Structure 1
């Protein structure tokens, strides 16, 4: 049980819910920015969450599959208000961006053929490539460093993603096991770290009871995706591409890039793009089922191990497994830049936009992604009609 008696509660549950509702509404910048906002606001400024609780939340979010920022929010809700807090805080964080992508999905479905919307996504789709490229670079430098084994896993994962144009789940898990066995003596094989491997599998199996035709298919697929995507929400991009475009044919290449662009335009977790995809496939209820399917596994895999994490979370075997999985996930993100870029970069204008986006993010650290996305949208509105009629 988490010892909260040493850290007096300085806030009510509804104050935390209100904060997360605001962060979900205005929190642009992707998972790295969102977890940074939570630390700044909840640990440093308000003192609602202790340093130790925040670090535990970050560790469990890295260990378990699912979107990083959403899992951290759920854990922080759990710290003082247990399951009720985790549930309400998680809903508050995700709901604003979900409503936004449903509205955008409705507009896209109704007006997707109109020139202005095509022009907007022409510019935004190219900018997204630059944003993902910089995210992949930051994640690589922050998490892999000079570790030769992690670099080897990164390269293999990148190449496999590009060649197969999909995310190979067993490569992720295999990478975690490999680093575990290399770094930690085999005697640890019987330790608690095995849970880090079996939990995602159990999460995928646990949602198999839905029986609503196409909604069942959507629910199962997105629950599967939510059960196996580690770290940054961007890690889900190559996985979703292989499923919704290649395997099921629910979306075209263009629609998929637009879905990623929508996720970059809206605040909150990047993985909310699943709600937009669900809307395009099956309307409002498709969006609901896709979003629930994506977030339910990460919710369960955050609150279920939370009481035991203090005891087992710092074991060397667990740390090694997470490092391996993270390296493979980052490699998949880097590979996704190439795969998606082949479809978004269609001419010299989009190529220039992608390169310029990466350059701006590199040079000007404080520039927020939404500003770049807005600029790219305006450029698309001006340039695309000229090129289309040239």
Structure 2
């Protein structure tokens, strides 16, 4: 995006691009989609923002919808399950790679390392709510940015905000319009199917995610996986890894894995619709409540970007959230590791502590072998994600069908 729009086309300046990117990192939702929307808004107003934002999402949405339908219809076939044995192993290596990459970039002070460790313990051991972790980290980072910016590797002081009228009317109008757009499908579901229907649960859950999805798709995936599997029972643990593998192969933001979850959730509880129709409604509703808030955030904040980009307290909140996200992704990595390598993983409580207890008799040596192969290809051979997924899927097919 930077090469095309700044270097080659010259549509916006380098400073404006980086300024907007900093602010998009502070907003919930996929920052790349919001940055694309802001660039469209900067060039052609709300029409340009709408076109840019929609075209960033629609291609990937259609591809993963087609893959979700294929997955739901072929999930019980032996060869299909064998392929996804390899996909799950590759996803484990990909998540480990994401963890190490983000940790290497984000944890450059002891304070940030402490935040990451605390976030991991809070999620994996204490089972505290994901939104609490994210919001708590942001709240901790803002005062630290003002008093001890070196703890967050921030330069002290803030750039002076440009003078001029504050665009409150534009912000209020954007919030009102996109709030109605966001809530309209939920109102229709409540009026026609009731709040006990699975579509209401889907819409409410992913609306909540749209508010707390700081830190990228890998961060929110851990919370979504545990809630979709353990909270709602929509998917099996291994199916979340399958969904991430599908999302890794599609264009568009990785957060599109939410559509896979919404499709399967509705597909498996279709009444009063057929499974396919219910799945399409679930996928459409999930995508709607995931990305309509993204337009709300960016259109509401766009007129303020020049004021917000260099605010030290906001940067401190973002830096703290980014550090906590490393702990969140570590939780995701540990959760996937257990559920990919073991068919049965128990869960028990000792006071406030949650303990996972894998059944060693259910250890899957094929998944372990493929995971080691995927790690060698990712970290040793430096292969791309697509190549690793393809080789692991082929390996899963060979092992799954031969044994």
1:50 and 1:69 map into 2 onto residues whose CA distance is 17
2:154 match: none
1:269 match: 253
2:289 match: 293
**Count of aligned positions:** 336
Match of 1:121 among 63, 81, 84: 84
The answer as to whether partners of 2:20 and 2:309 remain within 8 angstroms in 1 is no
Q: Are 2:63 and 1:95 equivalent residues in the alignment? A: no
Q: Are 2:240 and 1:256 equivalent residues in the alignment? A: yes
1:228 match: 212
What per-residue deviation string (whole Å, max 9, x for no partner) do you get for residues 304-355 of structure 1?
1111121123111111111111111221012101111211124233223323
What is the deviation of 1:360? 2.8
1:312 match: 308
Distance 1:159 1:359, change over 3 A: farther
User: Any gaps of 5 or more consecutive residues in structure 2?
Assistant: 149-156, 162-171, 190-196, 267-278, 343-363
1:306 and 1:358 map into 2 onto residues whose CA distance is 41
The answer as to whether partners of 1:64 and 1:230 remain within 8 angstroms in 2 is yes
1:286 and 1:166 map into 2 onto residues whose CA distance is 28
2:134 and 2:179 map into 1 onto residues whose CA distance is 18
What per-residue deviation string (whole Å, max 9, x for no partner) do you get for residues 217-254 of structure 1?
21121111121011222112112112211211111212
2:203 match: 219
**Mapping 1:171-190, distance limit 5 Å:** 171-185=133-147
The answer as to whether partners of 1:166 and 1:238 remain within 8 angstroms in 2 is no
The answer as to whether partners of 1:130 and 1:356 remain within 8 angstroms in 2 is no
What per-residue deviation string (whole Å, max 9, x for no partner) do you get for residues 182-215 of structure 1?
23159x9xxx9xxxxxx9xx99998556231432
Partner SS state of residue 304, structure 1 = helix
Q: Are 2:401 and 1:385 equivalent residues in the alignment? A: yes
Deviates more, 1:249-258 or 1:345-354: 345-354
Distance 1:174 1:106, change over 3 A: same
Distance 1:368 1:165, change over 3 A: farther
Distance 1:40 1:358, change over 3 A: farther
What is the deviation of 1:66? 0.7
**Which aligned segments of 4 or more residues in structure 1 are displaced greater than 3 angstroms?**
164-167, 202-209
Q: Are 2:47 and 1:84 equivalent residues in the alignment? A: yes
The answer as to whether partners of 2:370 and 2:396 remain within 8 angstroms in 1 is no
The answer as to whether partners of 2:141 and 2:319 remain within 8 angstroms in 1 is yes
The answer as to whether partners of 2:138 and 2:317 remain within 8 angstroms in 1 is yes
TM-score, reference length from structure 1: 0.80
Distance 1:227 1:326, change over 3 A: same
Distance 1:89 1:328, change over 3 A: same
Match of 2:379 among 362, 365, 376: 362
TM-score, reference length from structure 2: 0.78
Distance 1:101 1:375, change over 3 A: same
What is the deviation of 1:177? 1.2
1:107 and 1:238 map into 2 onto residues whose CA distance is 24
| Root mean square deviation of aligned Cα | 2.5
User: Any gaps of 5 or more consecutive residues in structure 1?
Assistant: 1-37, 193-198
Partner SS state of residue 298, structure 2 = helix
Q: Are 2:33 and 1:70 equivalent residues in the alignment? A: yes
